[in-house]
Chain A
Amino acid sequence: MIPTHYFLILSAILFTIGVVGVLTRKNGITIFMSIELMVNAVNLTFLAYARQFHQVHGLIFVFFIMAIAAAEAAVGLAIFITLFHHRDTIDVDEANLMHW
């Protein structure tokens, strides 16, 4: 059996890639994909622990996280479409109407 900490290291790497993607990318959809990567890294962590503890808890958590991510994606894409209507771009650097 593959030891749990292999999964944990992999998920930590995936999470970090996601965070870096959110911070460096300009395209709204790419940023959102990076967030999805973070969330999937979390799913992997839950699954690894659930396997180690022989519990259903973690598995159920993963189902709910997937549902949450799907709902977020639906709303997020609607927001991007409206932004595209206004600006003809989804580059988040162009969203700069408000300054302090």
Chain B
Amino acid sequence: MTLHPLLEPGWQLAVLPELILSGGGMLLILFDAFLPRAKSALAPLALIVFIATTWSERLFVQGGTYFGGTYEISPITMIFDLTFLLAGMLALLFARDYLDREGIEGGEFYALLMWGTVGMMMMAKGLDLLLIILGLEILSICIFVLVGYHRRMPVSNEASLKYFLMGAFATGFILYGTALFYGATESTNINTMARWFATTTQTTPLLTIAFVLLMSGFGFKLALAPFHPWAPDVYQGAPTPVAGWLSVAPKAATLIALVRLFNAMGPVLPKVSWMNMVATLAILSMIVGNSVAIVQRDLKRMLAYSGIAHVGYMMIAMLTVREESVAAVAVYTIVYALMNIGAFGVVSLLMKNENDPHTLDDIAGLGFRRKFFGFALALCMFSLSGLPPTAGFISKFFIFKTAIESGHTTVALIGILTSIVSVYYYLRVVYFLYMKEPAEGYEISSAGGVFAVGALTIAVAGILAIGLYPTPLFQAAGNAARALLQQ
């Protein structure tokens, strides 16, 4: 049998994780349709699919490029794949209890989570702007539905409307930027573009416009200021486990795509002021995110603004694409997945009308009523604010260290100062957890079964393990980044 020239031998194994996830999602929908009484089996089955995917990633996937040089599998894509799978699994475990409590559990929820993960994997592995955009769209369409999944709740519906209009608008910008890059470089393949950028001597205004369009589109997806206004509303309205997943995984996928793009543009970047624009976005995000988070009483909105600030930190490391900076971003996304989904997860366990905001008063005294939930939330807050010995400290430290080594001292300094400010609003949560009594007759109870406790255990163990013993992870990320940048 002769194969099409674009199908290299072994391509089936190369896309095995994606195939398992997509197929598993379809089977889950069918399972729910034919056995509507067996809803309690959905989450365990979905978990099995995720674990099988992780396994196939480790056992069968070979490095290399596939599909005519458009699909690259390398150590860095494996690390990001594991981040996506970890985020998906944590969100799934928290979602199980949440959906069960709200009475809206269905196979399509887990299926959309899986298909979104497939989209992110395509973004991480795509060596062609077409694949990156296709992955981004698969992801976005899954998010539109997941955000509006609680369709009896007007806030959920409104959040999904806002994300849909903003997301589609941003996609338009990304597409137009890509079209103009295609016009300039005569290709959409990242490697071909890199060769063009390496030989070009001058840049045209057209290229700058293309870059600005592309960055504004990706800025929307990353929730970078000034493209952030959708984020607080969408996180507040979305089902809480979805908000946690949404605040982490798509950002990680967009960042790895940007790493590839910036790396391809490497030879041109010193000659133009493009990176100054990116630095401005990072500074604005850190300042806006951290200062507006202080005045938020709603936990989900506070976490949304804190997420804007965290993307700002990650963008600092992206200003110069080097081995260390890519490694720092890779580690940061893993740590961020653990602590942010963990924090959203505890919020998702509060038993409350989902249409109302989840305020700080709701968690008053929670640390004494539910000791483990309180401890986990407090640890996530310590980690988010970057206090040792948590993983948040070590990953943030490396971000700022690489930024200063690359010569971005001012930006790094602003980052350090704003992250000191952020300690205030993170520790306020801990203050409410342990030093505040709930108001008379206003006690929000929280419920969580074995799934939520399991997810929180993973998050807590991960934060402590990476915080106390970060060397292996940084080494793996460093080696992967070296392999990526040496091409």
Contact = CB atoms under 8 A, between A and B. Distances in A.
B236 A72 contact: no
Interface in A50-93: 53, 55, 57-58, 60-61, 64-65, 68, 71-72, 75-76, 79-80, 82-83, 86-87, 92
Given A71-B141, A72-B141, A83-B158, A100 B296 contact: yes
Interface residues of B, number: 41
B161 A28 contact: yes
A49 B237 contact: no
A1 interface: no
Contacts of A15: 172, 176
Nearest to B233: A98
A46 B160 contact: no
Contact of B169 (A28, A35, A80): A35
Interface residues of A, number: 40
Given A75-B145, A92-B161, A100-B301, A39 B179 contact: no
A83 B152 CA distance: 10
Nearest to B229: A100
Contact of A45 (B154, B183, B187, B237): B183
B155 interface: yes
Interface string B176-219: 10111011001110000000000000000000000000000000
Interface in B125-175: 130, 133-134, 137, 140-141, 144-145, 148, 151, 154-155, 157-162, 164-165, 168-169, 171-172, 175
Contact of A82 (B134, B151, B162): B151
B232 interface: yes
A39 B296 CA distance: 36
B175 A42 contact: yes
B298 to A, nearest CB: 8
Nearest to B232: A100
A89 to B, nearest CB: 12
Which of A39, A64, A98 gathers most chain B CB within 10 Å? Answer: A98
Contact of B172 (A42, A61, A83, A92): A42
Contacts of A53: 186
A42 B134 CA distance: 15
A72 B137 contact: yes
A82 B182 contact: no
Contacts of B182: 46, 49, 57-58, 61
B158 A97 contact: yes
A100 B165 CA distance: 20
Nearest to B183: A49
Interface in B226-258: 232-233, 236-237
Interface in A3-31: 8, 15, 18-19, 22, 28, 31
Given A82-B157, A97-B155, A98-B158, A75 B175 contact: no
Given A71-B141, A75-B144, A98-B158, A46 B179 contact: yes
A42 B170 CA distance: 13
B418 to A, nearest CB: 19
A8 B206 CA distance: 11
A100 B180 contact: no
Nearest to B170: A35
Contact of A76 (B164, B183, B237): B164
A95 interface: yes
Contacts of A64: 130, 133-134
18 contacts: A15-B172, A22-B165, A35-B168, A35-B169, A42-B175, A45-B183, A57-B187, A61-B182, A72-B141, A72-B171, A75-B145, A79-B157, A79-B161, A82-B148, A83-B157, A83-B161, A86-B154, A87-B154
Given A38-B176, A79-B144, 5 more contacts: A28-B161, A57-B187, A76-B144, A98-B232, A98-B233
